[in-house]
Amino acid sequence: MTPELASLSIDFATRAPRAARLDALARQLDLGPIGGRVRWRGWGLDGRRRPPLVLLHGGHGNWMHWVRNIEALAEERAVWVPDMPGYGDSDAVDEGGLDTLLGRLMAGIAQLPDVPERGVDLAGFSFGGLVAAHLAARAAEAPASNETAVHVHHLLLLGPAGHGGARRPRGALQDWHAAAQAQDTAALTAIMRHNLLMHMLHDDAAIDDEALALHTRACQATRFRSKRLSRAGGLQALIAAHAGPAAAVWGAHDVTADPAEAAALVGCPAQVIPAAGHWVQYEAATQVNAWLCEALGG
């Protein structure tokens, strides 16, 4: 199930000890048929009064996009984070594209502990925000007799894709594949640092060993291509179809959107966090964790 990774060229446990520790502590479930399995990781206790929270990562990501948020959120509820289909430790999406990805996630959410009885809260980052909005809209439209039907309470979007507004590129991204294949650690690290600064993080000081290790591993295990979907728009209609409360947050320096324009386009309450870029829940974890807890009702 785990994809072949072109040479990671890093000592992951040393450079990302928090992620390694969380991975060891996680309850891991592989849900779905052979060839279509999704790897889910869970923390916190089932059976609490709050519904489980599902966090969806972005494109070129995996569950570790949430590495600085999981523990804070799991204090009050069960938190489940998949590697979405075509990412990380989950099986690839060979046919069906977005519909297949959404179907596998919907089926998996319906099988998580407590979800059929309590429903679920959804939060998504970047492409995962667009995916979360699709799932929430489908949940609102699904008949109760559908075996994958679940009730989605809150829908929270962090730097979501699909808003249809202008982007603010900081610079061109560099191709890392040749450096990885050559096992040129120095070149691979330099490229990943450049790409993080161009696209993901605003402050160069935020690009630490952890960020580099997480981004490198996630990029090398990405097999689903989300760019076209992310730029196609449609987020506002999906949010409008959702049956519950929705809210969004952007870093002030997010290169994928002008936060003020995007907030007006998506049509839900929005907050902008100063001095943060696109990967807002990593670069401004304390503020985002507080926002998430407040938006979820304390």
Residue 105 belongs to some domain of the structure: yes
pLDDT for the residue numbered 233: 86
Q: What is the mean pLDDT of residues 118-134?
A: 97
Domain, as residue range, for 144:
12-167+223-295
Domain count, the chain: 1
Question: Is 278 a member of any domain?
Answer: yes
* pLDDT-derived band at 94, boundaries 50, 70, 90: confident
Between 48 and 96, name the one with better pLDDT. Answer: 96
- The model's confidence at residue 10, banded by pLDDT at 50, 70 and 90, is low
Q: Can you give the pLDDT at residue 11?
A: 78
Average pLDDT over residues 69-96: 95
Cα gap 37→28, rounded to integer Å: 12
Q: Is 3 a member of any domain? A: no
Amino acid at 133: A
185 found inside a domain: no
Q: Is residue 42 part of a domain?
A: yes
> Which residue matches tokens 């320096």?
253
Q: Confirm whether 70 is domain-assigned.
A: yes
Residue 198 lies inside a defined structural domain of this protein: no
CATH number (domain holding residue 93): 3.40.50.1820
For 133-191, what is each residue's pLDDT tens digit? 999 999 999 876 677 789 999 999 999 999 999 999 999 999 999 999 999 999 999 99
- 6 within some domain: no
Cβ–Cβ < 8 Å for 139, 150? yes
**pTM for the full predicted model:** 0.95
